[in-house]
Chain A
Amino acid sequence: EDQVTQSPEALRLQEGESSSLNCSYTVSGLRGLFWYRQDPGKGPEFLFTLYSAGEEKEKERLKATLTKKESFLHITAPKPEDSATYLCAVTGGSQGNLIFGKGTKLSVKP
């Protein structure tokens, strides 16, 4: 069964304290792995797409990496405005629809 698991469920950081969020997946024939940011009361906002193992993408304090089994979202020197829920999703498998993990809720305290 195609599945996406995100850890931890929640993460509390101090401003400037770097860390990583994990997304592990099982899917036959990965076509793409997506990271989204979701603020309370809003829709998911697209961050990155990764297509193959070894690929990396960066945007400001965020860097996403991909291996054959998992992806990491590295947050360097986070700020309070980085507080949000980060969602990971994959496409692939027999139907190819987007499958989401349950998300990691990140809180960054000043």
Chain B
Amino acid sequence: NAGVTQTPKFQVLKTGQSMTLQCAQDMNHEYMSWYRQDPGMGLRLIHYSVGAGITDQGEVPNGYNVSRSTTEDFPLRLLSAAPSQTSVYFCASSLGRRETQYFGPGTRLLVL
């Protein structure tokens, strides 16, 4: 099993550009989530999904959009990138909301 995979590993954007961060898992997990990690802030939940077709907002959802059309994939879209979105983004998955979450390797995003 590959576990949780994320692409790209690193991306540079200009302010106002849009992009999609990809996340996929091959463990047949129902729950998937996106976090951002900033120095001194810890991991903060952006959006999550409890199953295909169901998504909800986390702690810091503004400026991000998600959809879940399949069990395996959970892309995160930045609609109009801002410098405040410079961060490291992690995708995670688990059998359920309160079960152990397994993380991907992360995407480092720099918005200029």
Binding site for B on A (CB under 8 A): 31-32, 34, 36, 41-46, 49, 87, 89, 91-92, 96-98, 100-103
Contacts and interface: CB of A to CB of B under 8 A. Distances in A.
Contact of B100 (A46, A92, A103): A46
A91 B90 contact: no
Given A32-B98, A97-B48, A43 B103 contact: yes
B82 to A, nearest CB: 23
Contacts of B35: 100
Contact of B43 (A46, A87, A96): A87
B42 A97 contact: no
8 contacts: A32-B98, A32-B99, A43-B90, A46-B103, A87-B43, A92-B98, A98-B33, A100-B43
Contacts of A102: 40-42
Contacts of B75: none
Contacts of A101: 42
A102 B38 CA distance: 10
A91 B97 contact: yes
Interface in B72-112: 90, 97-106
Given A43-B90, A46-B100, A97-B58, 5 more contacts: A43-B106, A45-B103, A87-B43, A89-B43, A97-B33
A105 B104 CA distance: 20
B104 A91 contact: no
B98 A34 contact: no
A20 to B, nearest CB: 20
A43 B104 contact: yes
A101 B41 CA distance: 9
A96 to B, nearest CB: 5
A91 B45 CA distance: 13
Q: Which 4 A-B pairs have the closest CB atoms?
A: A43-B103, A102-B42, A100-B43, A91-B98
Contacts of B42: 87, 100-103
A87 B106 CA distance: 16
Contacts of B40: 102
Contacts of A98: 33, 45, 101
